[in-house]
Chain A
Amino acid sequence: MVQSVSGGTGSGQPANSNKAKPRVLPSRRRARRAWAALGIVIVAIGFLLYKGLGNSLVYFRTAAGAVQDRAQLGNKTFRLEGVVVPGSIHTTGTGVDFSVESSNVFVQVHDIANPPQLFQPNIPVVLVGHFQQNIFLSNQIMVKHSASYVAAHPDRVATVNGKKL
């Protein structure tokens, strides 16, 4: 609003009428910057919607679902989810071999990446990779931990100095 007034005094006016000029950017320049910023935001929204629609709607397939759609999936890369089967973890030279389970369907996994620090038996994981025959070749393991928070030592007692064990 100020810009429209100060913009009007910009040309052909006496010098003393330009007092307010340094305080605001010329309105056209300011508008151009604002429109450019808005344009960038719109492009960013478009990018996020594109990525969201492409990845988020079916973020992963469960092991049971993937086995059911095995023929349709072929060698396509996708995310597979399942719970790490206890006793199935074997460290290899390049990564780790293990099995995942969902709805009593088991899938054998050969992973070639370092597992994250929370990787352990009985934890849900999301794996990125593809089927090769009946083995799922994974190049990324993501741990999907639960929303429950349980104290590691729920029956902690205070020691003499007040600290808990």
Chain B
Amino acid sequence: MGSKRYQRLRRAMGIVSVLLVAVTVVLGLWVTPPDVVQGQLVRLIYVHPPMAWVAYLAYGVTSLASVLYLWRRTRNLRWDLLAASSAEVGVIFTGLTLITGSIWGRPAWGVWWTWDARLTTTALLFVLYIGYLALRRIPADSHQRAVRSAIAGLIAFIDVPIVHQSVVWWRTLHQGATVLNPSLSPRIHGEMASTLLLGFIAFTFVYVWMLLHRYQIAALEQNVLDAELEKLIQERRNEPGLGSSQIESSGDANNVGQPSKV
């Protein structure tokens, strides 16, 4: 993971991400036309929906990794760390979705916030995954933490399709889907559509880049904790009058006997 090849991949992802976001910004601000109703306000469309998409994607990855951890045949602490890393990135993008939506809503709708189903379920999604991250902070051994986090992550993910479908299931101030609408017929001008698509690709690259970084940090943190644990066990073993059997019986068998390898 810390190999030069991996580092090169990360750097390349970073450069491509920055370039794609820069091109999206240039196209979104200067090349694409204003909207017939919204005028210049429409330019927020090139960042707001892509950020929401990345949040969905991040939580999808968290759920997939959680399932892979819960399934005994694929159980590995790497999946738990990937789930947590992806959830953190997802929370950042959900927060950005709420902020950019609010900035767009004030001039377009006339309000910063309203309690319609789309906004409420998105805020709920944000809080649910903050709860997921808070749950991970409760002291526990690696396996116990991974299992309960995986279950919490899967429960929180139920809100993702609810957020997406909220504009269909309930009356909302938020407009319906432009591209992924029930009739699957995009209602957007050509240049706007291509720039929006580029925005989706650009922010997906940003997500992967952030995830690679966050996962590496999580793995390093885990390695440090394992090394500390090994050291402490060794220190206690070296204490006069303490046998190794006493240490193993006094500690958590999952951790003491099997330090996690990441």
Residues of chain A whose beta carbon lies under 8 Å from any beta carbon of chain B = 1-6, 8-9, 17, 19-20, 23, 27, 30-31, 33-35, 37-38, 41-42, 44-45, 48-49, 51-52, 54-60, 81, 115-120, 123, 126, 140-154, 156, 164
User: Per DSSP, are chain A's interface residues mostly helix, strand or loop, or mixed?
Assistant: mixed
B117, A59: Cβ atoms closer than 8 Å: yes
Q: A31-B138, A48-B124, A56-B120 are in contact. Are A117 and B107 (CB under 8 A)?
A: yes
Interface residue total, chain B, C-beta cutoff 8 A: 64
Which single residue of chain A is at the shortest CB-CB distance from B40? A152
A8, A118, A140: which has the most chain B beta carbons within 10 Å?
A118
Q: Does B184 make an interface contact (CB < 8 A)?
A: no
Can you report 25 A-B residue pairs in the complex whose CB atoms are below 8 A from each other? A5-B251, A19-B235, A20-B232, A23-B228, A41-B130, A45-B128, A45-B131, A49-B124, A51-B115, A52-B124, A55-B116, A59-B115, A59-B172, A115-B110, A118-B38, A118-B110, A119-B110, A142-B110, A143-B109, A143-B110, A147-B175, A147-B176, A149-B45, A152-B39, A164-B31
**In the assembled complex, which residues on chain A have CB atoms less than 8 Å from the CB atom of B134?**
34, 37-38, 41
Which single residue of chain B is at the shortest CB-CB distance from A42? B131
**In the assembled complex, which residues on chain A have CB atoms less than 8 Å from the CB atom of B246?**
none
**In the assembled complex, which residues on chain A have CB atoms less than 8 Å from the CB atom of B252?**
1, 4
Among B24-45, those with CB < 8 Å from A are 31, 33-39, 41-42, 45
**In the assembled complex, which residues on chain B have CB atoms less than 8 Å from the CB atom of A59?**
115-117, 170-173
How many whole Å from A100's CB to the nearest CB in chain B?
A: 15
Among B72-100, those with CB < 8 Å from A are none
B36, A152: Cβ atoms closer than 8 Å: yes
B110, A140: Cβ atoms closer than 8 Å: yes
